[in-house]
């Protein structure tokens, strides 16, 4: 269809007027639909998309003023341009129609040349409006896509700070619970898999863990190879961060045991994990200006990492600090003391489950 042509709804209770308008508009190349009264016009507009409405004022039951008012109050229809065509030539009628939202007003009998010019102008404005809305929708889609990507990298609260233009984002948290998890013997297993299989396996495992993070209201910090780092109690503080991490750790152990390696033609021995947990203060913030990341630092993080690396396969090793916060609700087995690099002898426990 030519840009100057459109689908036009002619609304008039007078058959002669409808026919006259329809014939002239068809000669100009427009597609025409007619309505004999206001109610019929609204029904047609709800079921079909029109580029323009030519609307008479003096009609029975529902006059043109009422149709126009209803039309502009409806969010789904208000964008349709309306030209009023009426034998009423008083200035009050013109003003009222314009105030109600009409694009233009033509007096009967109308001049065909003026009618053509007014219709062309209205269709051009609608075309530009539609184009603008399409661009805005495309821009909104791109913004939403960027927002999703940003939230895949940063916590929502941190992303909001970054969007507001903060150059340095760093906070201290007096008490959080940090967990490191690592798949046992993954290096040996990876030697038996192709790169594609390796990525598929890790994606399957970590996608399950990501769902558990959402379920327990925690914050995934990053993955390093086959290691998984998650924290409870930041960036939004919560009092039950230790309990949430404990539940996450138990669910991770259950999930890793369900991973089926047979589809990779690999060793059918069930996978297991070493998990280490510690509770205490940390610093957290956005590191870097390109390919930035939200990261943690501090002694609490280092000790949680040691709890994992010095742990045993299939076990969840926790520090005394975490044990003290969970002992009334969870079952533990004392491991005794272990030598932790840089810290010396530390008392640790294995988390077994809930009471």
Average pLDDT over residues 79-103: 88
Tell me, what's the pLDDT at 224?
86
Q: pLDDT tens digits for 214-257?
A: 999 999 988 888 899 999 998 889 999 999 999 999 999 999 98
Which residues, 6 or more positions from 264, have their beta carbon under 8 angstroms from its beta carbon? 193, 197, 200, 201
Question: Could you give all domains of the chain from N- to C-terminal order, each with its CATH number?
Answer: 7-145 (3.40.50.2300), 156-354 (3.30.70.1230)
pTM of this prediction exceeds 0.85? no
Distance of alpha carbon 155 from alpha carbon 207, whole angstroms: 17
* E-assigned strand segments in 127-243: 170-183, 219-224, 227-232
Query: Does the pLDDT value for residue 150 go beyond 80?
Result: no
Confidence at residue 168, expressed as pLDDT on a 0 to 100 scale: 67
- The whole-number average pLDDT for the span 192-210 is 89
Question: Can you give the pLDDT at residue 1?
Answer: 47
Interval 41-87: pLDDT, tens: 999 999 998 999 999 998 888 898 999 999 899 988 888 899 888 88
On the question of pLDDT at 146 being above 50, the answer is: yes
CA R_g for the chain: 35
């Amino acid at each position: 269809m030519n840009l100057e042509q459109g689908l036009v709804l002619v609304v008039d209770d007078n058959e002669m007027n409808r026919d006259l308008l329809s014939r002239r508009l068809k000669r100009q190349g427009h597609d025409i639909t007619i309505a004999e009264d206001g109610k019929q016009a609204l029904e047609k507009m709800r079921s079909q998309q029109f580029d323009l409405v030519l609307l008479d004022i003096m009609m029975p039951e529902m006059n043109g003023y009422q149709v126009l008012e209803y039309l502009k109050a409806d969010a789904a229809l208000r964008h349709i341009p309306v030209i009023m065509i009426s034998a009423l030539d008083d200035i009050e009628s013109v003003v009222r129609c314009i105030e109600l939202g009409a694009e233009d007003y033509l007096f009967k009998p109308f001049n065909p040349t003026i009618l053509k010019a007014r219709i062309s102008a209205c269709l051009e404005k609608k075309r530009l409006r539609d184009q603008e809305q399409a661009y805005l929708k495309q821009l909104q889609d791109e913004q939403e896509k960027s927002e999703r990507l940003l939230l895949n990298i940063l916590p929502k609260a941190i992303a909001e700070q970054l969007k507001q233009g903060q150059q340095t984002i760093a906070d201290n948290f007096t008490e959080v619970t940090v967990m490191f998890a690592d798949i046992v013997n993954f290096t040996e297993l990876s030697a038996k898999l192709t790169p594609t299989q390796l990525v598929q396996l890790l994606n399957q495992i970590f996608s399950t863990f990501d769902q558990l993070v959402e379920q327990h209201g925690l914050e995934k910090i990053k993955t390093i190879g086959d290691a998984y780092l998650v924290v409870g109690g930041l960036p939004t503080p919560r009092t039950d961060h230790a309990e949430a991490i404990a539940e996450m750790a138990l669910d991770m152990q259950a999930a890793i045991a369900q991973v089926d390696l047979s589809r990779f033609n690999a060793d059918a021995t069930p996978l297991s994990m070493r998990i280490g947990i510690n509770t205490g203060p940390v610093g957290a913030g956005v590191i870097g200006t390109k390919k930035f990341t939200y990261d943690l630092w501090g002694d609490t993080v280092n000790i949680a990492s040691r709890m994992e690396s010095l742990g045993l396969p299939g076990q969840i090793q926790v520090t005394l600090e975490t044990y003290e916060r969970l002992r009334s609700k969870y079952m533990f087995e004392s491991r005794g003391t272990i030598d932790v690099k840089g810290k010396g002898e530390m008392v640790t426990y294995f988390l077994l489950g809930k009471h």
